[in-house]
Structure 1
Amino acid sequence: MAKRSRSKTRTPASDAAEGAVGPRQPCPCGSGRRYKHCHGAADGGAQVYVARPFEGLPGERDIVALRELVPAASAPLTLKDHPDREVLLCTLLPGAAPAMVRDSGAIWLGLQVQHSFGDPARDLGAVLLKALDAEAGIVGLTDPPGPGPRLQDLVVSGGNGDGLDITVHDGFGFWIADVEEQTPEMEEALHQADHSAAPTARLGSVEAAYWTDVTTKEHLRWVLPEPEADAFDALARLHAAGRDQLVPDSRLVGMFRAHGLLVPVWDLPVGTGAAALEEPAAAFRKALDEALAVTEPLTPEERSARNGLANRQVTIR
């Protein structure tokens, strides 16, 4: 009797949805567990994973950057139902706290937290609602928040009435700027936090592009708004044409995906600085727009460039 074939019908990789996560791959939520044991669990024990959680928020790309790239920055928010309540969105709070209610009643929301409940925007919404009713101190979540308003549902705009009015700080001194009596413990925590913060600056000529100095080299990391496939094609066209260099001796070294958006990364020569990138970044944005407008299929050289860029891509969350 002939043996049965052990092979099973499988869905070709080309038919899989772009960005789909396999059951044995790491869960994109950042928990460190396999997808099938986390947000892909059959028992529904975790919340549904949201691939682009900050979509619809003013300054979505900057929020992604502040969550993933920028050590010390802040931006005021205006709330729908509490327009007079002071709310400050921060990259990081002391002890990586999700939120703090200050003695003044101001609410500080932290973006760089360890929640892995699937939807950071829902986490922020839940923490904000708790903070609105809390006394001065730390506010956070110990369990998944369940259904409810996301930050998009609670925010009218950034503090300037449009996008986010972002301040990139030299360090974390803003943590205790409103504290009259500063203890040695506060100063030690501030010193440790400042020591780990690489100098960072937000470019003014383009949106959501951040220069940073990591001592041995400098980087530009730029959160793009376009759909991933379109951005990849446009970057591949420019890469194949040798038009992806920002300044002499700079190099597009790869990119990563963060919260549903593509973030190309350039290595820059030490000593470049942020100011030297303003005009080149604006020129590159124009070239990228031109490449995005091209409708012809990629050439063999451009497809090769695209594959090379894809091989240097990682997913942050």
Structure 2
Amino acid sequence: MLIYPSFQQEGRDTGQQRWWEQEIQQEGNIERGQLLTYNLTELIKPESYQVRLTPITRSGEGDSTERIIRYSPPVNPHWNKFQCSFEEEAICMFTQDKTEEFDWTRHSAATRDTKYTPNTGPSSDRTGLKQGFYMYIETSRPRVAGDKARLLSPSFSVAPKNPYGTVTTNPTYCFSFYYHMYGKHIGTLNVYLRQKAQTGSDGVVWTLSGNQGDRWRQARVNIHPTSAFQIVIEGVRGSGIEGDIAIDDVAIEEGECRDPPPSNLISSASPTGRHIWQSCITLLLALTAHRR
């Protein structure tokens, strides 16, 4: 066993010279490789920080370790509704996933090039205002089929459901947004639920592929997070350059979705099921005509 009476913690804004320090007292013995946690309550701005941790033993200071972390403040636990129309450059604290091939682009007016790609993308934001903003994926070169762009929402806290501060049942939230998927090369738009307690396993809650016409449509889906969560919006490039996908007016609201439009969940009806349903309608019409 190793005995670490305390740690010296230092931190600073990335790119700044001045460090701030504090000593973290520890109780008892700490085993080699033991995982320790500590809340950095001093971080108040959503930006990157450099953190250095140095163990202080009875023989002096040990080897230091450094990490770059990014602070993303959770929304107030008692929030009722989050809305974002991407009108501000800060895009409501959404961030780009830098592990993917490219980024979403904030844009106003039309995405299409009247000469090379006249038949893809919206001509305005969801409200019809050409000066209004939205987010979209640009699928022209150098993008290739399968390239992905991911937009990460801020972190949201799940509100406690009892006075003891714990969640007794899985709360329900309604996630809604407008999408525009117009073009013969449209790929796929996916929405994932990322939970803090389930690292490495984003769960897909909505997906849609292919050309949906030159219009904005709304999607709504119920989500059931059990811990702090993020929404991940993923655009996947299709087979060609006429495949711009856009989103606008994103919202998260407590409670189930009211009067939801058809949502493109994973469990959609099969082609066989649709054929049987159409056959039943045809048979019903035939019987009605015979009675007359």
**Please, what TM-score do these two structures have when normalized by structure 1?**
0.25
Q: Which has the higher helix share?
A: 1
**Please, what TM-score do these two structures have when normalized by structure 2?**
0.27
**Max Rg structure:** 2
Bigger relative contact order, structure 1 or 2, given CA contacts below 8 A and separation 6+?
2
Q: Which has the higher strand share?
A: 2
